[in-house]
Structure formats: C-alpha cells, structure tokens
Structure 1
Amino acid sequence: MSEPTGAARRRGPFKVGDQVQLTDPKGRHYTFTLEAGKNFHTHKGSFPHDELIGAPEGSVVRTTGNVAYLALRPLLPDYVLSMPRGAAVVYPKDAGQILAFADIFPGARVVEAGVGSGSLSSFLLRAVGDQGMLHSYERRADFAQIAKENVERYFGGPHPAWQLTVGDLQDNLSDTDVDRVILDMLAPWECLDAVSKALVPGGILCCYVATTTQLSKTVESIREIGCFAEPQPWESMIRNWHVEGLAVRPDHRMIGHTGFLVTARRLADGVEPPMRRRRPAKGAYGEDYEGPGSGSGGSGDRG
C-alpha cells in the first residue's frame, strides 16, 4: 500500500529535496531546501548541505563560525508562516479552528474560495487525504500560481485530491454533494445561494472574515437565506507563557485578532430553521442598522 501524499517527506533521515528548518541559539528560524553540493550561508559562517543529507532529523550542525544550529523539518504551521506570499495567509491558529469546527474529515469533499497563498489549502489537503476532494477557487491568477507553488513544494508535487480553478466561485461552482464549504473572501454573502445548493444536508459552511462589519453582514445573510441552522461566530487568540524556574508569567506579546470565523449547518431541503428564542437587544435593529440587503461588497481574498 502506497504512503499518503507527502508522508515520506515527514519522516526518516534528511533527503535531497527535503525542507529543513534551522534554529539558531536565539531561537530564530531559517528554512531552505536540501541540495547536494550546496552550502548554507549565514552571517555566522556556512556549512555544506551534505552534512545533513542522510542525517537523522533533530541533528545539530555547526557553521565555520562554530555556531550550532538545530535541524528539523518545518511543521506545517512553520511552513505556512515562512512561505512566499501573495495574499495574507490564514494563520495556523485559525486553520486549526477551521479543521476542528468545520469537522474536516478524511475523504471529505470540500470547496474552498479565496486561496490566497495556499496556507489553508495545505491544511485542508492534509486533512481530507488522497481519497478526499478539495476544489479551490481563486479569482486572481497571480495568487493561484503562488498558492500552487507553495502547496506543491510542501507535498513534494501535485496533490491528487486538489483541483484549483481561477475565477469567482459564484460564477464557476459546479460541484455537487459537497460536505464542507470554506469561504475566505471579502464578501462571502455573495456566494451563499451557490454554496447552499452544493452542500449536502448537514454539511457545514465556514466563513473567515476580517472585520466586524463583514462579520455582521455574513451572520445576518446566513440567517436571511433560510436554509441554514443558526450561525455560530467566534474568534480565537493565543498567548504564550514564559516558564523559567520560578519566573512563570504570560508573554508580553500574543497572537491576537486575525479574523472572525462563522460556521453554520445546512438544513434539509424544504425545512425552515427553528425560531430563535433569544430576543435581540433593544436597538439592535434600529434606524442605523444596515442589513444583508443594503449594498454589496467585493469578492476574493482578504489580502
């Protein structure tokens, strides 16, 4: 039985073509691709790639300046933060939330719109596996090309589950019986009619938006279309901690707001969503409220 795509690049001794992440004594990372006969240069000296080829992961190499570097394969969260960018990448903390709360499973049929630089595509492909399907739509050809190169660099070549289409989702979507739809774009509400027809009953829609105005319009539009259960909006934040002896405290910096996530389940055809019991706050829909029908926004990547 053949290994899943990319699995051979995640284990065993270092090989030519592997991505290597070096960590210096100050914790800084440097990522490069192993090539026979090449040298890796830093301002603290250099060392030949051949020293790592055939060596086990977790080895330490020293430069000509006698500086030690720890050599490991980059984790996917490390890779997506260091890869070339067109649009802004989906941060690992949000990608992890999407995989969990959109319930991305092996073999799932997933549609993604707003590919950007290929960060989320890489996470989704690893989750659905070779037997799944990820059909990604990207309106900008230059972003699509960057994403393609980044994804193929990570997996070591084309992924059998991936199809990439250049164009707007609402104009090109032809997929049916889709399990999950992920929208990372400026105006996801413009795609709701199209994706609601593609999703299976019980399927999950997940939208990733940057601002509170986008969040409001997305949630209200999902309610208005009438074929989804009550949408769930949230955001996540990560705060690291400094732990050294008795000095245990939160770091001064944290990964705060990057975007909002909204998930909603597709109802069966002909079913109306149950009435919400919670009454809206007084003034929530006052004169200043601009609902889903007031104007439209652009589509495409957040970046």
Structure 2
Amino acid sequence: MHDPAQSPVHAQGDAPADEEVDPAAWSGVHRGPLRAGEWVRLLDGKGRRHNLCLEPGKRFFSNRGHLDHDELVGREEGFTVTSSAGGEYLVFRPLLSEFVVSMPRGAAVVYPKDAAQIVAMADIFPGAHVIEAGAGSGALTCSLLRAVGPFGRVTSYERREEFADVARRNVAQFFGGPAGETHPAWTLHVGDLAEELAGSGQRCDRMILDMLAPWECLDVAADALRPGGIVCAYVATTTQLSKFVETVRVHGGFTEPQAWESLVRDWHVEGLAVRPGHKMIGHTAFLVTARRMAPGERAPLKKRRPAPGAYGPDYDGPRPPGVPVETGVETGAETEE
C-alpha cells in the first residue's frame, strides 16, 4: 500500500509543470508530453471526436486524410495538428466526463451529469467503502474510484459476465494500470448483490443501486450500511421511482427519501446572440437518496396529507404507515341534501 508520507510535498508553485501525477494516486490523469500507450482525443472543426491509443508507427485515418501517431508522441497536449488532406484536429488527453460518453458499452452508461450528482449528493468521500450494483459498462465505477481514492474501496456487483468484461476493460483503460493490474480499491463480483451480500457481514458507507428493481435489495442495503450511511438508487421510469420511494418509507429504517432529476442545457453565445442551445441533455434517470438509521431506531413519520387519490383504490404499491386506504377520490365539492 502506498505511504503518503513518502510522496514529495511541494509548496504552491514549486512543482515543475511537467511533473507526472503520482501513480499511487490512481487518478487516471497524466501530465507532461504525450507518451506511447496513452489515449488522446481528437476534435475536428465540426465537433466530431475521435479517441485513439498512441502507438509508434501507426496511423489514424479519417475522411480528411491520415495522421501519424509519431507526430503526436512527445508533444504537450493542447495543440492543433493537420492531417494529410488538410483537416485540422485539436489534441488533448480525454477528461473523465469525455471518456465515459465515448467508452465501449455493454450496458448503458451513467452520464456525467448523474455521476456528478451521485458523488456529491451521496457524499462519496476519500477512504469510503462504496458498494455498487450493477457495474454496467464501468462509467459510474470510474467516478466512484476517483472519489474514494486508493485508500477507499469500491465493491461492484454485476450479474452479466459480458458486461463485467466491458467494465474491466474500461476501468483499466481510464486508470492506465500496468498490464494485468487493476485499481487497488476496486473489487468486481459477477453475481447478484442480494444473494452474495446477504449474510456476508460486509459493511459499507454508501450503496449505489443502478438496477431494474432496487427495492428488492433494500433489506440487504439496510444490513450492510453503517448508521448514517446513504443508499442511492438510479432508476429510469416513474413506476420504478414510485415503488422504490414507497418501499423505503415502509421499511422504516431510513430517513424520508429524497427524489430528483437533473437537466442540462447548453447556451449559444456569440456577441448579442445569446440564447439557449437547441440541444439539451434532458431526462436520463431519477435519483433517490435516504440515510440509514441506527439499528432499532425509526425516523419520525412524515406529516403528510396525500393528494386525493394518491393512495386510492387504483394504487397497489407499498403503503406508508398511517396512510388509510381510500375508497374514493374526494373532490372538495359540497353536495346538496
């Protein structure tokens, strides 16, 4: 295990600009000239993006001619290069947010806007133990590993072997460990979280449920989470959202669940032409968080007056304590005798 006391400490401004990031930090970030074996991102004038791994003697081909990898190796990132047919490309190392939207996929990826919300609102901290189900293509896993650092732990469960293989490759590609070596904080299990975690005695600080039926894992989450820990569900539909939230309420071992979604809209800015962009990243998923109570403790019941019909005869989901079964919908209108 890396000893932070042995890492060089620099006063602000003392570190050379090209000093490499300490490999023991497992940040996935490199400084200095581009090296063979690194991934770079090419951006052309029309916004088209290309990711490629630099290999000596190889060429990149596009409809604008070719580029020799050797022309890029040894240069500081942030330069423009011209292809054989006159096409110009901007060259940078990819950011994590850029890498995850272009990575090879098995399952759908958790987009950066949602990963950022999970890291912030689930309070993922350095040294935390986070359990993730499922791993998908490894997009959220990269953000979680970046947040917990090499002294934390991320334990991922993925039911499908083919998805787990994609996640392994993507995580290895981003963090760039030596051949055969993966991030020291990451453990990936192929299997069902509810089956493998139950009775294991494993404890965690945070649990992220990115799955079709997260309510099925709520009892397991309650057993594994330390008091004060956070469960966070990532669900795509309103029916999933409703069932998970109501199941959390009925369980009683968590605080009142908080649900939200985030929408991202870019802006067009040119002189006096300042307006919302024509494209935006709209709904991708709903997020729900709740905190684990201490064993044997229950949160105070929320003083709610449900909207008429909210728990009416057509509702067949979990029913919070104290909410009566409605036999009809009250309209508030007076009736004449």
Q: TM-score, normalised by structure 2?
A: 0.85
* Counterpart in the other structure of 2:310: 284
Counterpart CA distance in 2 for 1:90 and 1:9 is: 20
Deviation at 1:177?
A: 2.8
Deviation at 1:286?
A: 0.4
* Counterpart in the other structure of 2:57: 37
Identify if the C-alpha distance between structure 1 residues 3 and 61 changes in structure 2 by more than 3 Å, giving closer, same or farther: same
Q: Which amino acid aligns with 1:242?
A: H
Counterpart CA distance in 2 for 1:100 and 1:12 is: 30
1:159 aligns with 2:183: yes
- Kindly report structure 1 stretches of 4+ aligned residues shifted beyond 2 Å: 1-10, 174-177
Match of 2:233 among 200, 207, 212: 207
C-alpha distance after superposition, 1:195-252 (max 9, x if no partner): 1000000000000000000000000001111100000000000000000010000011
Q: What pairs up with 1:1-303 in 2 under 5 angstroms?
A: 1=7, 2-7=22-27, 9-157=29-177, 158-173=182-197, 174=200, 176-292=202-318
Counterpart CA distance in 2 for 1:30 and 1:202 is: 43
Deviation at 1:176?
A: 2.6
Counterpart CA distance in 1 for 2:220 and 2:149 is: 25
Any idea what SS the aligned residue of 1:239 has? strand
Identify if the C-alpha distance between structure 1 residues 144 and 207 changes in structure 2 by more than 3 Å, giving closer, same or farther: same
Deviation at 1:278?
A: 2.5
Any idea what SS the aligned residue of 2:189 has? strand
Q: Is the 8 A contact 2:26 2:150 kept in 1?
A: no
Deviation at 1:165?
A: 0.2
* Farther off after superposition, 140-149 or 5-14: 5-14
The higher-RCO structure (CA 8 Å, 6+ apart) is: 1
RMSD: 1.2
Any idea what SS the aligned residue of 1:121 has? helix
Identify if the C-alpha distance between structure 1 residues 245 and 287 changes in structure 2 by more than 3 Å, giving closer, same or farther: same
**Percent of aligned positions that are identical:** 60
Q: Is the 8 A contact 2:28 2:175 kept in 1?
A: no
Q: Is the 8 A contact 1:5 1:155 kept in 2?
A: no
Any idea what SS the aligned residue of 1:252 has? strand
Larger radius of gyration: 2
Q: Give 5+ residue unaligned stretches, structure 2.
A: 1-6, 8-21, 320-337
* Farther off after superposition, 38-47 or 173-182: 173-182
* Counterpart in the other structure of 2:334: none
Deviation at 1:277?
A: 1.6
Q: Give 5+ residue unaligned stretches, structure 1.
A: 294-303
C-alpha distance after superposition, 1:171-204 (max 9, x if no partner): 0013633100000000000000111000000000
Identify if the C-alpha distance between structure 1 residues 122 and 182 changes in structure 2 by more than 3 Å, giving closer, same or farther: same
Counterpart CA distance in 2 for 1:48 and 1:6 is: 29
Q: Is the 8 A contact 2:137 2:170 kept in 1?
A: yes
Deviation at 1:62?
A: 0.8
Counterpart CA distance in 2 for 1:56 and 1:176 is: 45
Counterpart CA distance in 2 for 1:136 and 1:175 is: 16
C-alpha distance after superposition, 1:69-116 (max 9, x if no partner): 110011111111111111110011100000000000111000000111
Deviation at 1:145?
A: 0.5
Q: Is the 8 A contact 1:4 1:129 kept in 2?
A: no
Q: TM-score, normalised by structure 1?
A: 0.94
Counterpart CA distance in 1 for 2:201 and 2:64 is: 53
